[in-house]
Amino acid sequence: MHSRSHSRIWTVLAVIWALLAVALYISITEGTFDISVKDVVKTLLRIDPVMEHDLVIFEFRLPRIVIGALVGFALGIAGAVVQGITRNGLADTGMLGINAGAGTATVLFMFLFQGQVTGLGTWSIMLMPLCGLAGGLLAASLIFMLAREGKRLDPQRLILVGIAIGSGFGAVTLYVSLKMNPQDFEMAAVWLAGSVYNANWTYVASMLPWLILLVPFIWMKSYVLDVLQLEEYSAAGVGVPVERERRGLLIACVGLVSACVAVSGSIGFVGLIAPHIAKRLVGLKHSRIIPVCGFIGMTMVVVADLIGKTVFAPNQLAVGIVISIIGVPYFVYLLFRSSK
């Protein structure tokens, strides 16, 4: 039985990786300037490098693909954590207002510092996730404080409070962005829609430390997430300090989301859809759900970015908008299914 479930996980991962490989192949070879697979391989291996190929692959396409993959991976895992600690299948970092809180803090940073402080350069990009972390933690703290009923966290109330908090942070973000000069406002508007268009290697470097530290921590807490699916008294009865573990997992989740929001803006629905697909494919154990969620989220963002830049060419549609077009109907479907 164990070997069968183990082989099922690897089969699921193999299919996801195959879909991801196809999307990566199309993304790196197709575009305004088509490049053959042979030229891509030669460029990557530094065999007879051509300046034009170097520019297209290393400066434009590859950073965009890598950022999309990292953001999708992090958002998928964050969605699994949020649904695990709230025991609510409709929970998502975007739905709970965590994305909005991180986005507001990041827009404030852009407004107050990026256009005025000289000499920050790369450090401004590295500091943005920290600002997002502060905003995300503020949003999460408000939500968890207001969603309590006595000492118990009410999952239904959590969604309603999250939507309200997210709307409030969204209003603040809009107000601040309207105070920007036209050029900065345009940049902020594209960023808020959820875009990886301006990705570069500095963005990749700013994200990697967060993933390297937080993803293993979350995966090591898989057993805790399994236990948290029980009622609070039952979870405490088996020796799990419920509040402390929830708090630690929530901070890790907010850290991942903040790193994503800092480099790509607010991309919603990845954390909602990926856990549902993962649970149907590999069951309910979080040691399996977490990695599968990550790769499903990775595939979703890479494919959505591919659709946004090819289907609507020569114009480009932000990846967040493409995912929302798919995510909104799926969320409505989940609402109807949960009400039955």
Contact 224, 245 (CB under 8 A): yes
Residue 240 pLDDT exceeds 60: yes
Better-scored residue on pLDDT, 26 or 338: 26
pLDDT of residue 324: 86
Q: Which two tokens stand for residue 252?
A: 């890790």
Position 321 confidence tier, pLDDT thresholds 50, 70, 90: confident
Residue 335 pLDDT exceeds 80: no
Work out the number of other CB atoms within 10 angstroms of the CB of residue 46.
8
Contacts of 322 by beta carbon, 8 Å cutoff, 6+ apart: 304, 305, 307, 308
Contacts of 321 by beta carbon, 8 Å cutoff, 6+ apart: 193, 194, 308
268/264 Cα distance (integer angstroms): 11
Strand partners of residue 149: 152
174/104 Cα distance (integer angstroms): 9
Write the pLDDT tens digit of every residue in 1-43: 556 677 888 899 999 999 999 999 998 888 777 788 888 888 8
Position 194 confidence tier, pLDDT thresholds 50, 70, 90: confident
Q: What Å distances lie between residue 148 and 145, 154, 158, 300, CA to CA?
A: 6, 6, 8, 33
pLDDT of residue 21: 93
pLDDT of residue 121: 54
Better-scored residue on pLDDT, 94 or 65: 65
Residue type, 166: G
Contacts of 152 by beta carbon, 8 Å cutoff, 6+ apart: 232
Highest averaged pLDDT of the listed ranges 26-30, 244-248, 257-261, 273-277: 273-277
Contact 199, 176 (CB under 8 A): no
pLDDT of residue 214: 94
Please give the helix or strand (H or E) that residue 148 lies within, else none. strand 148-149
Residue carrying the six token digits 């692959």: 57
Q: Would you put residue 301 in left (φ > 0), alpha (ψ -120 to 50) or beta?
A: alpha
275/289 Cα distance (integer angstroms): 7
323/103 Cα distance (integer angstroms): 18
With CA atoms as reference, report the closest residue to 234 among 87, 78, 83: 87
276/279 Cα distance (integer angstroms): 5
Position 338 confidence tier, pLDDT thresholds 50, 70, 90: low
Contact 251, 89 (CB under 8 A): no
The DSSP call for residue 152 is E
What rounded mean pLDDT belongs to the chain?
A: 83
The DSSP call for residue 315 is S
Please give the helix or strand (H or E) that residue 153 lies within, else none. strand 152-153
CATH architecture of 2-339: Orthogonal Bundle (1.10)
pLDDT of residue 114: 57
pLDDT of residue 117: 43
Better-scored residue on pLDDT, 129 or 83: 83
Contact 252, 74 (CB under 8 A): no
Residue ranges of the alpha helices (H) in the chain? 2-29, 37-44, 51-54, 62-86, 98-109, 122-146, 155-178, 182-192, 201-220, 222-227, 232-237, 242-264, 270-282, 286-310, 319-339
Work out the number of other CB atoms within 10 angstroms of the CB of residue 44.
14
pLDDT of residue 228: 86
Mean pLDDT of 129-146: 83
User: What are the structural domain ranges in the chain?
Assistant: 2-339
Write the pLDDT tens digit of every residue in 168-179: 998 998 888 888
Contacts of 214 by beta carbon, 8 Å cutoff, 6+ apart: 252, 255, 256
Residue 339 pLDDT exceeds 80: no
Better-scored residue on pLDDT, 153 or 41: 41
pTM: 0.89
